[in-house]
A and B are shown apart, each in its own frame.
Chain A
Amino acid sequence: MPAERTAGSPATAGIGPTGRPLPFASAAAGRYALGALVTAIYVFLLAPVVIIIFTSFNPTEANTFPPSGFSLRWYAKFLDSGGFVDAFKFSLWLGAIAAVGATVIGFLSAYGIVRFLGRRREAGQSLALLPIMIPHILISISLLLALTIVPFPELGGLIVGHIIICLPFTIAGIIASLEGVDAQLELAARTLGASRLRTLWEVVIPLIAPGLLSALIFAFIVSFGDVYIALFLSGPGRTTLPIEIFSYMQWESTPVVAAITTVQILLIIVLGLVVERLVGLRKLMRV
C-alpha cells in the first residue's frame, strides 16, 4: 500500500499554486526550499532510530553516541537472556494470532459495511473505526474490569485486546480494497452458479489479496508494538517484548535494549519489503 500512495512525483514544483508555471528562478528556489524541508522532516523522524542502531554496537555499558567502538556483545546478551528471548517469541506468537484474527474479522466487517449497509454505511464505518479514537489504555482498563465480571482466561483477554486495537486498521484497509471490486463481478459469479461463500472465495478474496496481506502485516506491527493492552492484561510468564523492555529499563540501562530494538526495526523493515514485493508482484500478474 505505501508504494502506491507515495508514487506522486515531487518534481512538479515548477507549477505555482494558481496552476500557472512560475518564473524559472523562483521555481528553482521553491524546489530547493521544499527539498530542504522534506530532508529536515525525515532527519527529525529517523534520527532517533539511526542513533539507537549505532548505540547497540557499543562495547561498553554506556548508551553513548557515537559508539566508542564496535562490538556485538549486547546482541549476545540478548540471545543469552532467557527473559528477553521468551518475550520476543511470545510477542511474535501473539502478533501472528492477533493479525490473523483481526484480518478475518476485519474482512467480514468490511464486506458487510461495503455491500450490505446501504445508506447506513457511513455510520457503520465510523462505528467500526471508533477504537482508533479511544486511548488504548482505556480499552485495556475496560477489558481488565470486564474480565473480572466475565470469567475468561487471561491469555484470551490479551488476544481479544490486541484484536480490538488492530481491527480499525484492518477494516479501513480492506474497505479501501473492496471499493475497487465491481459488485457486478459478484452478481456475475452468482448467476453462473456460485453460492455467496463460493463467490467470496473465487472472486472477492483473490481480487483483494494484496489488501488482505497488507492488513495482516499492518495488524501484526500494531500488535507487536503495543504497550498499553499488554501492561494490564499480560500475566506472569507471559510478557510481551515491550513490557519486558519496559520493566528492565526501570532498573537498568544498557545497550541491550538498543540491540533488541534494532532487531525489531529489522523485522519491521523486512515485513515492509515483503508487502512491497508481494503487492508489486500481484500487480505484475494483472490483479
Chain B
Amino acid sequence: MPSAALELRGVLKRYGSALGVGPVDFDVREGELLTLLGPSGCGKTTTLHIIAGLLSPDAGTLRFGERDITRLDPQHRDMGLVFQNYALFPHKSVFDNVAFGLRMRRLPKDEIRDRVGRMLEVVGLPGVEARFPDQLSGGQRQRVALARALVIEPTLLLLDEPLSNLDAVLRKRMRHDLREIQQRLGIATVFVTHDQDEAFEMSDRVILMNRGQIEQVATPEELYDSPATRFAAEFIGEANLIEGVVADVADGAAVVDAAVGGRYPARLPDGGARSGDQVYLMVRPERVDIATAPPGNGAVPATVTKRVFSGDLLAFTLRTENGHELVASKPSVAGYRAIGPDAAVWVDLQDCRVLPRES
C-alpha cells in the first residue's frame, strides 16, 4: 500500500452550535487522487479548507509525513488550492498571477520566468502571459488557476469543485486533462465535488460524506457495487431498496426473503447480519432482469407502468403483483424495445446486497 502523504485524525469543526465537520479520520496517499464527494453542505469544502490551513479545526490533528501541521499557517503549507470561482487576481496579468507563489518564495526573476512559461505549457495555455483574467474564457481561467497552484510544486494539490463553472462539453474535457496532468506530475490530490460522474471518472479513491460525517471510503467500483449505507446506495447511481428479512446466513452470504416476493442470495455488509434481521435488499437497476416469458426459478410477475427511452438505455418502472415498485435499466436493443408500457413481465434480481435497516 502506498504511504500516506497526509493524515487527518479526529478532525472536528463546529460552526456556532451546529456541527460543521467530523470528527473525521482519513489519509491522503502519495500520488493518488482522492475525492471528497457529497451533497452541498456535507462538509467537504470545510474539510478542504482545514487541510489548506484556511480554517482551524476545533479538535484533531493533521500530520504531513512526520510533521504535525495542525496549527501551521496556510502560507507555510506549500499546498496548491484551486478555487471554485478560480480566484484569479483581477489586477494582475496571467504571468503575475502564476508567478505570485514563486515571488512569495523570493526566487530569482529568471527562474520565475522559466517556470511560469513551462507551467503554462503543461496546462495547455502557452503565450497568454500578458493577458488579464477578464480577457480569458472560463476554461482558460481554470487552466491559469491550475497553473498558479501547480507552479509552486505543491506537496498536495487541492481542488474545490474546479469544474462546476464550466459548460458541459468543456467540463468533460477538463476532467480528462486534469486527471492526465495529475498523473503525469504524480502529485497527491484532494478533489472536492458533488458530481458523482466526476468523482468516478477521475478518482483513485472516493470519500463519501454526508452531514459532516464520512459515510464510506472506497474505490469508485467498490462504492458502486458495495455501498455501506442506505445514503451511499441512493447517492451513488440509482438503487432499488427492497425491504426484506434475512432467512439464512452461510459462508459470508445471506439469503433474504424480499417484500417483492421471492428469496434471493445477497452479499453481506461489513457489519454482517443474522437470521431474522430486518434489512434492505439493494439491487442496481441494470441488475433487475426482465423477461416476457416465465423463466421458471422463482421469478416474480410484474407489470410495466412506465417506460422511458434515452437512446442507449431503456428505463422501466415496474409494479410487482404485491404492489412494490422497482426500476430497471436495460440496453436499448430489440428484445427490450419490444416491451411496451403495460406489458406483463417476470422480474428476477441479480447481485443483491444486504444493507442494514435503521430502526
Listed in ascending order, the chain A residues whose CB lies under 8 Å from chain B are 182, 184-185, 187-195, 198, 202-203, 206-207, 286-287
Contacts and interface: CB of A to CB of B under 8 A. Distances in A.
Q: Which 6 A-B pairs have the closest CB atoms?
A: A193-B104, A192-B101, A188-B87, A184-B87, A190-B74, A191-B81
Interface of B: 49, 52-54, 73-81, 83, 85, 87-91, 100-101, 104-105, 132, 134, 148-149, 152, 158
A189 B83 contact: no
Contacts of A287: 90-91
Nearest to A183: B87
A210 to B, nearest CB: 11
B160 to A, nearest CB: 9
Contact of B132 (A184, A198, A202, A286): A286
B54 A187 contact: yes
Contacts of A189: 89, 100
12 contacts: A184-B83, A187-B49, A187-B87, A188-B81, A188-B87, A188-B89, A188-B148, A190-B75, A191-B80, A192-B104, A193-B104, A193-B105
A185 B54 CA distance: 12
A286 B134 contact: yes
Contacts of B52: 187, 191
Contacts of B85: 182, 184
Contacts of A286: 90-91, 132, 134
A198 B81 contact: no
Contacts of A195: 73, 75
Contacts of B49: 187
Given A182-B85, A191-B79, 10 more contacts: A184-B85, A185-B89, A187-B81, A190-B74, A191-B75, A191-B149, A192-B80, A193-B75, A286-B90, A286-B132
Contacts of A182: 85, 87
B104 A188 contact: no
A207 B83 contact: no
Contact of B89 (A187, A191, A193, A203): A203
Given A193-B101, A193-B152, A188 B90 contact: no
A161 to B, nearest CB: 36
Nearest to A119: B16
Contacts of A207: 90-91
Contacts of A206: 91
A120 to B, nearest CB: 13
| Max count, chain A CB within 10 A of own CB: residue among B76, B88, B100, B152 | B100
A278 to B, nearest CB: 15
A286 B99 CA distance: 19
A198 B104 contact: yes
Nearest to B135: A286
Nearest to A181: B90
Contacts of A184: 83, 85, 87
Contacts of B83: 184, 187-188
A287 B81 CA distance: 24
A152 B104 CA distance: 43
Contacts of A203: 89
Contacts of B73: 190, 195
Contacts of B105: 193
A81 B80 CA distance: 66
A188 B79 CA distance: 11
A138 B87 CA distance: 46
A190 B87 CA distance: 12
Nearest to A189: B100
A208 to B, nearest CB: 10
Contact of B104 (A185, A187, A194): A194
B100 A190 contact: no
Contact of B148 (A187, A190, A192, A194): A192
B77 A191 contact: yes
Given A184-B83, A187-B83, A286-B134, A192 B90 contact: no
A272 B75 CA distance: 40
